[in-house]
Amino acid sequence: MKDNAGSEQTVSTEHTIIATGSKPSSIPGVTCDKKRVITSTEALSLKEVPEKLIVIGGGVIGLELGSVYNRLGSEVQVVEYLDRLVAGMDISLGKEVQRFLKKQGLQFYLSHNVQSATVKGKSVTVSAKDKKGKEVEFSGDYCLVAVGRRPYTENLGLDKIGIVPDEQGRIPVNEHLETSVSGIYAIGDVIAGALLAHKAEEEGVFVAETIVGQKPHINYKSIPEVLYTWPEAAGVGFTEDELKAENYNYTTGSFPFKALGRARVSMDTDGFVKVLADKDTDEILGIHMVGARAADLIAEAVVALEYRASAEDIARMSHAHPTYAEAIKEAMLDATGKRPLHI
Catalytic positions are 321
Using DSSP's 3-state secondary structure scheme, residue 252 falls into strand
CB 84 within 8 A of CB 91: yes
Q: For 34, left (φ over 0), alpha (ψ -120 to 50), or beta?
A: left
Residues 6+ apart with CB under 8 A from 18: 153, 156, 171, 179, 184, 185, 186, 187, 190
CA 235 to chain centre: 9
Report which of 147, 137, 159, 305 is spatially closest to residue 222, judged by C-alpha positions.
Answer: 305
Question: What does residue 248 show for φ and ψ, rounded to 5 degrees?
Answer: -75, 140
Question: What does residue 325 show for φ and ψ, rounded to 5 degrees?
Answer: -65, -20
CB 3 within 8 A of CB 172: no
Measure the CA–CA gap between 321 and 54, rounded to whole angstroms: 42
Strand extents, DSSP E, the chain: 16-18, 22-24, 37-38, 52-56, 75-79, 107-109, 113-120, 123-129, 135-140, 142-145, 149-151, 184-186, 225-227, 232-237, 250-256, 272-278, 284-291
Measure the CA–CA gap between 169 and 55, rounded to whole angstroms: 25
CB 228 within 8 A of CB 66: no
Residues 6+ apart with CB under 8 A from 175: none
